[in-house]
Amino acid sequence: MKKFLSVLLLLAMLLTVLSASAESSDMADVVSRGKLVVGITEFAPMDYKDSNGEWIGFDADLAKLFAQSLDIAVEFVEIDWDNKILELNNGFIDCVWNGMTLTSEVLSSMECSRPYANNSQMVVLPKDKVDQYSDVSALSALTFAVEEGSSAKAEVEALGYTFVPVSSQAAALMEVAAGTCDAAVIDALMVASMVGEGTGYTNLTGTFRLNDEEYGVGFRQGSDLAIVFNFFLKDLYDNGTLMSLAEKYGIQEALIDQNEL
């Protein structure tokens, strides 16, 4: 790990020196501060708290490993997802790392990592009402709960359906469970973790997939942390650590082969 860290640090410093437009280095900044500040929302299986109040999940654990490779600490900060770009640009956080879909807005506003997991937006309905709907077009009269600023909101807006924006994907599920909204649209990976038998939402179920998308980590535009993380991610994939982590949280089928990018 120390040898890998040295290579990363050398690479980051070299890139900073070669970039004539670079006024500062995010890599040097986080190492100097001794801390990487990660913007998240509560979203199992990517970022959520265990019984001791510690943040865990695929993304949380991966962020911890990345910080460890830089020999610094990691701090998780819950953010308003709709303000993620503002939080990043204002320096309140160093990156957005929360099962973030690489949308055109995200790609144009952040320095994004290579994608690491596949996902889709999925409609969640009460189990006892699923048989009433044959396809997505049959859902047009429903009111959807969606996370503000999310890919889910964009999908429902594109369909022209009625929606209620809420603070998180977890809140969207709560709206449907409470009967205050007819349906929710959330990440398929979250559906697999939080909906159905053995979860807290046994009366709900995932149904139609609305799109195909990929997850990535977002850093500030021009940040040298992005390329450092990309090398780190490829190394973890090649040595099997990334797959082991994916298996721990049940997302191994969604993991993207880093050698095919």
pLDDT digits (tens, 9 = 90+) for 43-100: 999 999 999 999 999 999 999 999 999 999 999 999 999 999 999 999 999 999 999 9
Last residue of a domain, one of 194, 209, 224: 209
Q: How confident is the model at residue 4, as a pLDDT?
A: 53
- Whether 103 and 21 map to the same domain: the answer is yes
Range of the domain at 89: 2-118+213-254
Asked if the structure places residue 260 within a domain, the reply is no
Q: How confident is the model at residue 18, as a pLDDT?
A: 47
- Whether 223 and 167 map to the same domain: the answer is no
- Whether 168 and 238 map to the same domain: the answer is no
Asked if the structure places residue 27 within a domain, the reply is yes
Query: In the chain, what percentage of residues exceed pLDDT 70?
Result: 91
Asked if the structure places residue 77 within a domain, the reply is yes
- Whether 225 and 180 map to the same domain: the answer is no
* Backbone torsions φ then ψ of 209, nearest 5 degrees: -90, 135
Nearest to 130, CA basis, from 204, 190, 185, 180: 204
Asked if the structure places residue 180 within a domain, the reply is yes
The per-residue pLDDT of the chain, averaged, comes to 92
Residue with tokens 């977002």: 218
Residue 27 and residue 41: Cα distance in Å, rounded? 24
pLDDT digits (tens, 9 = 90+) for 210-221: 999 999 999 999
- Whether 42 and 86 map to the same domain: the answer is yes
Q: SS3 of 51, please?
A: coil
The arithmetic mean of pLDDT across residues 8-16, rounded, is: 51
Pairing mode, strands 117-119 and 213-219: antiparallel
- Whether 76 and 172 map to the same domain: the answer is no
Residue 20 and residue 179: Cα distance in Å, rounded? 56
- Whether 67 and 138 map to the same domain: the answer is no
- Whether 137 and 183 map to the same domain: the answer is yes
On the question of pLDDT at 6 being above 70, the answer is no
**Number of domains forming the structure of the chain:** 2
Domain containing residue 70: CATH number:
3.40.190.10
- Whether 225 and 204 map to the same domain: the answer is no
The arithmetic mean of pLDDT across residues 186-193, rounded, is: 96
* Whole-Å CA distances, 232 to 90, 151, 171: 26, 27, 33
- Whether 33 and 153 map to the same domain: the answer is no
Higher pLDDT, 19 or 261: 261
- Whether 8 and 104 map to the same domain: the answer is yes
- Res. 24 pLDDT band, cuts 50 70 90: confident
Asked if the structure places residue 56 within a domain, the reply is yes
- Whether 114 and 125 map to the same domain: the answer is no
The arithmetic mean of pLDDT across residues 223-252, rounded, is: 97
Last residue of a domain, one of 209, 227, 245: 209
